[in-house]
Amino acid sequence: MGRVRTSAGYSIGFAEAGGGDTMPIVFLHGVGSDKSVWRPQLDRFASERRAIAFDYPGYGDSDQAPEGTTRDDYAAAILSAMGELGVERAHICGLSLGGVVAIAMYAAEPDRCVSLTLADSFAKHPDGAAILERSKAALETGTLRFMAESRVDVLLAQPAVPIVRREVVDTMAGIAPAAYLIGAKAVWLADQSERAGDIRVPTLVLCGAEDKITPPALSRELAHLIPGARFDLIEHAGHITNFEKPDEFNTLVGAFIRGVDSRI
């Protein structure tokens, strides 16, 4: 793990594994998580390529997010950090907020995104504003740990694996409330329908079959907006598919990006 300074003047955290000449893959976490959620993917993909998971500003090992930070600022920070680490082009894989940020990265610098994997995400969430207001209300009356404990069983398919449940709660509890609310605004108020329609790189859309936060219908809608996108469900998974079902997630993503590599 380390930190890298971005062009915006602040540093963000990252974890990486692997190396070689094969196209790298970059992982982007959700609003209630950080780079640590991608440990199963770093372990898996390190055997064939460089794999990097980033924190957003305000998350994990990053500096605090400046007031007014947006999803486009997150995207700019990741693109800048990639450049500082010598990664000019990569496969981009994001979950939930990470999918929103991945689309923003493509909108900003499409030539740097070799492919997109958008997991448990959406172009526009019909209940996004209400979810944001509930998050604000929860933090006015309690802590992030309290909110995590009250929501974890909705986030995960049931019955959840105890160690997975515990790690999800502990990671969310460690986020600064101000950073969480910036991330919540970035994801839940997103409307990237037009941007999704402009995507012209191979795209894989994944969703947990039991995702209650961003149901499969929203992922299907997102896939329909993106020309040529492929859609796959991961059975017995909720909203955090990469962490709940890492083997299934890794198999789908690995086959997809290797197929893209073969055509480069």
State residue 92's pLDDT score: 98
Alpha carbon distance 87, 165 (integer Å): 33
Element housing 261 (H / E): helix 246-263
Tokens representing 1? 């793990």
What's the structural domain count of the chain? 1
* 166-184 per-position pLDDT tens digit: 999 999 999 999 999 999 9
Alpha carbon distance 57, 49 (integer Å): 25
Residue 69: give its domain's CATH number: 3.40.50.1820
Residues of the chain short of pLDDT 70, as ranges, are none
State residue 1's pLDDT score: 79
State residue 142's pLDDT score: 84
- 188 lies in which domain range? 2-263
* 228-260 per-position pLDDT tens digit: 999 999 999 999 999 999 999 999 999 999 999
* pTM of this structure: 0.97
Look over the chain and give the mean of its residue pLDDT values, rounded to a whole number.
Answer: 96
DSSP codes joined into one string, 42-110? HHHHTTTS-EEEEPPTTSTTSPPPPTT--HHHHHHHHHHHHHHTT-SSEEEEEETHHHHHHHHHHHH-G
